[in-house]
Amino acid sequence: MKALVYLGPGRKSLEDRPVPEIKAAGDAIVRIAKTTICGTDLHILKGDVPTCAAGRILGHEGTGIVEKVGAGVTNFHPGDRVLISCISACGRCEYCRRGMYSHCTTGGWILGNAIDGTQAQYVRIPHSDTSLYRIPEGVDEEALVMLSDILPTGFECGVLNGKVAPGSTVAIVGAGPIGLAALLTAQFYSPAEIIVIDLDDNRLAVAKRFGATTTVSAAGGRAAEAVMKLTGGRGVDAAIEAVGIPASFITCEDIVAPGGTIANVGVHGVKVDLHLERLWAQNITITTRLVDTITTPMLLKSVQARTIDPTKLISHRFKLDRILDAYETFGHAASTQALKVIIEI
C-alpha cells in the first residue's frame, strides 16, 4: 500500500508499505476513504513531538470501510463505513473510566504517533469497538473527517475547558482550523462576543463569515491593546490559545479578565513565560488538555441535524498520490489560503 512516512525532522516521503495485519483481538483493519493533515503533523515534522519516531506513517484522522476485525470485536463488521477517532480508548482502564481517553494506558493519541496512522490506504485501529463510530446514512463523509480531531479538540480543549457560557466574552487567539473549530462550537453556548485574533487577514475574513463578532489583527503586536479597548479595559472571560507559540499564550495572559480562564489548545514546542507576577491575584484559571473525543457522539448528532456544518473548514482536496503537494499547500497556508485539506484515497 501507499503511505506517507515521517523520516525525521523536516523529512517525509510517500512510500510503499505492507498492509497492516490484525495484532490483537480488539483490532480492526480499515481501508481509508478520506483523511486529512493536522497542524500536529506539522509539529511532528518540526521535531516538536519526540514520541513520534522516524519511519512512522503519519495521520490520525479519517473515514473508511472496515476490511477485517479481530476475534474480540463485537460492534463492527467488514463492510461497515466508519469514522476514525484520533484517540484510541480501551474503555476499561482507570483513565478511560474517568472520561480521559487521551490518557488510556494502552491507547490515547497513538495513531500517527506511537503506531502507524491514517495517511495510507489501510490502517490498524486498536480498541476498535470504542475507537470507531459507524457513519449514519446520508451524512457527508467529508464533514465527518473534521470530527476525527479538530471539532472535538476545539470544543473540548477550547470551549468546554474555557467555560464558555451564555453572555460571556470569548477571544480565540489563532484562526487556523482548530481556532475556527472552537469558533463554530462556541456558538452552541451563545456567548455575547467572540473576538478572533490572527496575523492572516484571509483567516480573519473567514472567521467573520463563521460567526466571529469582531476580528483583530495580530500584526504590529498590538492585539492585546485592541482587545482591552473593545472590552472597556476589562478583558475576556475565556481566552482560547489555538496556535502553540509563546506569543499567542502571552496574548491570552494579557487579555484575560479577572475570574477568567485561559484554555490552552495549541501544541507547544518551546517554553512559555507565565507572568504570575501580574496574574497571581486575578482569580485566573489556566487549563491544558489533549482531546479526549468524549463529545464525538454529540457532535456527530449535531452534524446529522445540520446544527453545525464542518465542511466550511475544507479548502482544498487532493488524491493520495499528491499528498506531498497537500502538505506543501497546508504548510504554507498564508499564501495558499488553506484551512483543512481532504485527501481522497
Q: What is the CATH number of the domain that holds 74?
A: 3.90.180.10
> How far apart, in whole angstroms, are the C-alpha atoms of residue 86 and residue 84?
6
Nearest one of 150, 130, 152, 128 to 30, comparing CA atoms: 128
Same-domain pairing of 266 and 188: yes
Under 8 Å between Cβ of 215 and 204: yes
Nearest one of 108, 115, 181, 104 to 145, comparing CA atoms: 181
Nearest one of 213, 261, 211 to 236, comparing CA atoms: 261
Q: What count of residues does the chain have?
A: 345
Question: pLDDT (tens digit, 0 to 9) for every residue of the chain, 345 residues total?
Answer: 999 999 999 999 999 999 999 999 999 999 999 999 999 999 999 998 999 999 999 999 999 999 999 999 999 999 999 999 999 999 999 999 999 999 999 999 999 999 999 999 999 999 999 999 999 999 999 999 999 999 999 999 999 999 999 999 999 999 999 999 999 999 999 999 999 999 999 999 999 999 999 999 999 999 999 999 999 999 999 999 999 999 999 999 999 999 999 999 998 889 999 999 999 999 999 999 999 999 999 999 999 999 999 999 999 999 999 999 999 999 999 899 999 999 999
User: What grid cell was written down for 328?
Assistant: 506543501
Final residue before a domain boundary, out of 287, 309, 329: 287
Same-domain pairing of 210 and 129: no
Nearest one of 340, 337, 334 to 317, comparing CA atoms: 340
State which residues form the domain around 277: 152-287
Same-domain pairing of 140 and 207: no
Identify the sign of the CA torsion 141, 179, 36, 287: negative
